[in-house]
Every structure is written in C-alpha cells, then in structure tokens.
Structure 1
Amino acid sequence: MYWDAKIVKPLPDYRLYVEIEDGRRGVFDMKPYLDRGVFRELRDEHYFNQVGILFGAVTWPHEQDIAPETLIEEMVPVDAMPDNALQADASS
C-alpha cells in the first residue's frame, strides 16, 4: 500500500529514518515508547538496531512493531531536520 514503510534505518538516540511507499521520508523518535510494555526491550541498542520491515510495518525480531499510520503521523519530515540529524551511529 502507498502508506507502507519501504526503508528503515536505525539512527542514534533511538530514532529511525523511515521512507514510506508514497515517497515521504522522515525521522521517527522511539524514545517515548521505550518504557511501554513490549517496547522496553528496544532499550538494548544492539536489539534496537535489528529493526526491519515486515508487511509494510517497522518491526523487530520479537514482534514489536510500529504501524505505518503511526510513523506517518509522528515522524518529522527530512526536510525539517538539521543537516547532521541523519548521521548513522558509528556502532551499527
């Protein structure tokens, strides 16, 4: 579908770079979710960096996921980000 995630990359500080099928790109901040239920496991940076996509949703190996609608609603468009905000974590 046009709102599905097609690319996801982990960034420093528990953020995700996301590209949506319709061409939108942005950064999604996972920090507000890290103290909630199944998302607590994502506080482990090694595990957080195992992020991927399954059926258009951003997912992790133990079945945590973020729905595409949530990504679109809460991500900050890349155009609104400072130039250095997308630098990848050197440890990944």
Structure 2
Amino acid sequence: MTFNDGLRGEIDCSEYPEKGPVFAPLKEPGFFRKAFIEGGTIAWPNGADIAPESLYEKLLQKEQNREGVVHQ
C-alpha cells in the first residue's frame, strides 16, 4: 500500500474477518482479491470497507516499530 505522502508498505489484514459478519468473507482469498478503491477507501462488493485512516495508522505504527520508535 502506498499513501500520498510516500508512506508505503504491506499491511496485515488478517484480523478483519473477526471484526464482524460483513468482514467474514475476507477470509476467502478469492473474495479478498475483489477489493477495489471507492472514494479513497478499500472496499469489497459486499459493502465491507476499511477506512484509509485506519490503514495509515497501522502502517505508520509498523514503520515506527521497525525503526525502534517508542510509542506513548
């Protein structure tokens, strides 16, 4: 994933299928691959979507952890 400010990397989305019934189909690789961008958000045909702010924060935290930055 790449954001406009240049932050980029891979995000583990494996937790999302456990966040409710709308996300359950994401367990299936074929359905997960049906993702598309809608209004700046990653979305799927069943109405599931993940806010870009959430993805950005996950990626930022991953990058900071990699660099050894301490969170408060």
TM over 0.5: yes
Equivalence for 1:41: 25
What percent identity do the matched residue pairs reach?
Answer: 36
4+ long deviations beyond 6 Å? none
User: Relative to total residues, which structure has the larger helix share, 1 or 2?
Assistant: 2
Equivalence for 1:23: 6
Taking only aligned residues, the RMSD between alpha carbons, in angstroms, comes to: 1.4
Name the TM-score, length of structure 2 as normaliser: 0.73
1:4-50 deviation per Cα after TM superposition (whole angstroms, max 9, x unaligned)? xxxxxxxxxxxxxx111222112111111112211111011100011
Bigger Rg over Cα = 2
1:51, CA displacement in angstroms?
1.1
Q: Structure 1: which 5+ residue stretches go unaligned? A: 1-17, 81-92
Equivalence for 2:35: 51
Name the TM-score, length of structure 1 as normaliser: 0.59
Q: Structure 2: which 5+ residue stretches go unaligned? A: 67-72
1:62, CA displacement in angstroms?
1.3
Higher RCO (Cα < 8 Å, 6 or more apart): 1
User: Relative to total residues, which structure has the larger strand share, 1 or 2?
Assistant: 1
- Residue 74 of structure 1 pairs with residue 52 of structure 2: no
